[in-house]
Structure 1
Amino acid sequence: MGFFFHIGRYFALLKRVFAKPEKHKMYFRQLFHEIDSLGVNSVWIVVIISVFIGGIMTIQFAYSMSNPIYPRDLIGFGTRDTLILEFSSTMLALIMAGKMGSNITSEIGTMRVTEQIDSLEIMGVNSASYLILPKIVAVVLIFPFLFIMSVFFGILGGLFTGPLAGVVTVPEFIQGLKFAFVPYYITFSIIKSLVFGFLVASVPAYFGYYVQGGALEVGKASTKAVVNTNILVLFFDLILTRLLLT
């Protein structure tokens, strides 16, 4: 019963979020603030994680393909496709759910418990739209760029780590990157990134908007938001993979 209650209230909130804005200028100003706050501040963590994961994947593929029957070109091929199809879209969304999601929940939740949202409603402002819509738009716009950055730096990490570890040469790795490339994989992962971006922004915003109590409840809401967002990301990853890759 609680599950359906949350689903109904979530969609009711989204209806308010996507209502016609009162003042477009105010929303545009807030949008650029959210892009800076949520997106620009996430770039370095994406770069660092992607470089290390690209290097780790390269070494792991090298050891799993240590049989001389397998050409070493497959190391670059496996690293590339794993980054594109899964890590740089799905795993990145799970990481950003923790970073961005907890930030969104705590920010909106703090405004709720300090009655700032009530003040906006008294002034005639659609608080749901004003506080949540710029965050959703910002995160949805940011995620495809973070995905592309993650793939690039992941491949770069593999390109440096593989030769340094002595598991593959630079020409072999590059040959693997070129082998059997399917451009549709990029399209598929960008579609996933857009969906995941929406989830990473809207689900934590829901938990923050309806939090009740004080600072302790805001912390609990942040934890719930991250857990539920991660579950939904994996669920939609399964659905999208089934629909778009068959």
Structure 2
Amino acid sequence: MPETSPDEKTDPAKTPAANGPEAPHAEDTIAEEVVEVFEEVGQFSFQVVFGTIASILSYLGEVVTLFGETVRSLFQRGVHMGDLFRQMAIIGVESLPISLLTIGFSGAVLALYSVNTLKTYGAAGLVGGIVALSIVRETGPILTGVAIAARAGSAITAEIGSMKVSEQIDALRSMAITPVEYLVKPRLIAALIMLPLVTVFADIAGVLGGAIVAASKGVSWTEYLSSIQQLMEADGSDITKGLLKTVVFGAIIALVGCREGLETEGGASGVGQSTTRSVVIAIVLIFISDFLLTFLLFNKGIVE
């Protein structure tokens, strides 16, 4: 037999049988790991996004259901006037000072910015109309809603939540008195009535605050009032649409406050958590509804 040359001999270390399965390249391993990470992130993001949307829709459904039960109870049994007046005082009268201060100084700040800018163009006399439009359309309703949500909305949740954890609501049910009839109905009606009324006074405070600042900058009261008449709608639709917003805000504050109070659990700490959650949710919903209402009520310029 012919001898095999050394160059033709097979190196056992280089044969697949000796090395076993071929090891994957490092680049392929890293790529697979990156793909897995992105898949996990995508699945997690999908679950978070759609889970959040589902939670929001579920919450809104509960609030709408509570509103429907309250309206049905109102038509069936009316409302106790004593409870209604007491809630009107809590939600409206006691919230009036903070609303007047908030909107009054907001009007002053608006006038301060506006008059300085308008002077550059020789149109300082228009400051009254600009301030009034800003107040009655936007600043007045939304800041009044936020102020009352922080003050009265938190009080509603704290009161009902305390009743829930102390089993007073269970006692009401044992006497055939529903929480909607005794607790939710007077608060909802009071909020629907008092939010527009408080906003009217707050709007006046804002316009007066702007007038004081404008007067200090050399704009006469006559010019200030004349520009209001010039820029605002003569039929008062600006005021009406602004007050319509506050009706929606009032419903949000009352329904969210009552809902969070009725769902309170966990003793005193649970009351605190429900109160905080009530204020946050109410304010967020106020801003969202404000955008939607502004688009629907004041969208003439957008459409054109």
Match for residue 262 of structure 2 among 209, 217, 220: 209
Task: Summarize deviations over 1:164-201 as a string: whole Å, max 9, x none.
Answer: 3x252323222222222212111211111111111111
Is contact 2:98–2:147 with CA below 8 Å preserved after alignment? no
Task: Determine the structure 1 residue equivalent to 2:174.
Answer: 122
Match for residue 229 of structure 1 among 273, 277, 282: 282
Distance, in Å, in 2 between the alignment partners of 1:62 and 1:6 is 44
Distance, in Å, in 1 between the alignment partners of 2:290 and 2:92 is 22
Task: Determine the structure 1 residue equivalent to 2:84.
Answer: 31
Q: Runs of 4+ in structure 1 displaced over 4 angstroms?
A: 21-25
Distance, in Å, in 1 between the alignment partners of 2:170 and 2:69 is 15
Aligned residue type for 2:129:
F
Q: Does 1:75 align with 2:107?
A: no
Distance, in Å, in 2 between the alignment partners of 1:53 and 1:3 is 32
Q: Does 1:3 align with 2:56?
A: yes
Q: Percent identity?
A: 26
Is contact 1:109–1:218 with CA below 8 Å preserved after alignment? yes
Distance, in Å, in 2 between the alignment partners of 1:154 and 1:14 is 32
Match for residue 219 of structure 2 among 147, 159, 168: 168
Report the 3-state secondary structure (helix = DSSP H, G, I; strand = E; otherwise coil) of the residue aligned with 2:182.
Answer: helix
Report the 3-state secondary structure (helix = DSSP H, G, I; strand = E; otherwise coil) of the residue aligned with 1:65.
Answer: helix
Distance, in Å, in 1 between the alignment partners of 2:127 and 2:200 is 20
Aligned residue type for 1:204:
G
Task: Determine the structure 2 residue equivalent to 1:181.
Answer: 232
Task: Determine the structure 1 residue equivalent to 2:144.
Answer: 92
Is contact 1:211–1:218 with CA below 8 Å preserved after alignment? yes
Report the 3-state secondary structure (helix = DSSP H, G, I; strand = E; otherwise coil) of the residue aligned with 2:73.
Answer: coil
1:160 to 1:219, Cα distance in 2 relative to 1, 3 A: same
TM-score, with normalisation over the residues of structure 2? 0.75
Q: Which moved more, 1:39-48 or 1:78-87?
A: 39-48
TM-score, with normalisation over the residues of structure 1? 0.92
Distance, in Å, in 2 between the alignment partners of 1:13 and 1:172 is 49
Q: Does 1:140 align with 2:188?
A: no
Distance, in Å, in 2 between the alignment partners of 1:80 and 1:24 is 38
Report deviation, 1:7.
3.0
Report deviation, 1:82.
0.4
Distance, in Å, in 2 between the alignment partners of 1:23 and 1:3 is 32
Task: Summarize deviations over 1:107-161 as a string: whole Å, max 9, x none.
Answer: 1111101111010000100112210110010011011111111111111112222
Aligned residue type for 1:197:
G
Please identify the structure whose Cα radius of gyration is greater.
2
Aligned residue type for 2:171:
S
Distance, in Å, in 2 between the alignment partners of 1:13 and 1:23 is 16
Distance, in Å, in 1 between the alignment partners of 2:122 and 2:256 is 44
Distance, in Å, in 2 between the alignment partners of 1:104 and 1:131 is 9
Report the 3-state secondary structure (helix = DSSP H, G, I; strand = E; otherwise coil) of the residue aligned with 2:119.
Answer: coil
Indicate the RMSD between aligned Cα atoms, in angstroms.
Answer: 1.8
Alignment of 1:94-109 (within 5 A): 94-109=146-161
Aligned residue type for 2:211:
L
Q: Which moved more, 1:122-131 or 1:46-55?
A: 46-55
Distance, in Å, in 2 between the alignment partners of 1:35 and 1:98 is 16
Q: Which runs of 5+ in 2 are unaligned?
A: 1-53, 300-304
Distance, in Å, in 2 between the alignment partners of 1:19 and 1:145 is 25
Distance, in Å, in 2 between the alignment partners of 1:45 and 1:113 is 30
Aligned residue type for 1:175:
S
Distance, in Å, in 2 between the alignment partners of 1:71 and 1:86 is 23
Structure number with greater CO (CA < 8 Å, separation at least 6) is 1
* Number of residues of Structure 1 aligned to a counterpart in Structure 2: 243
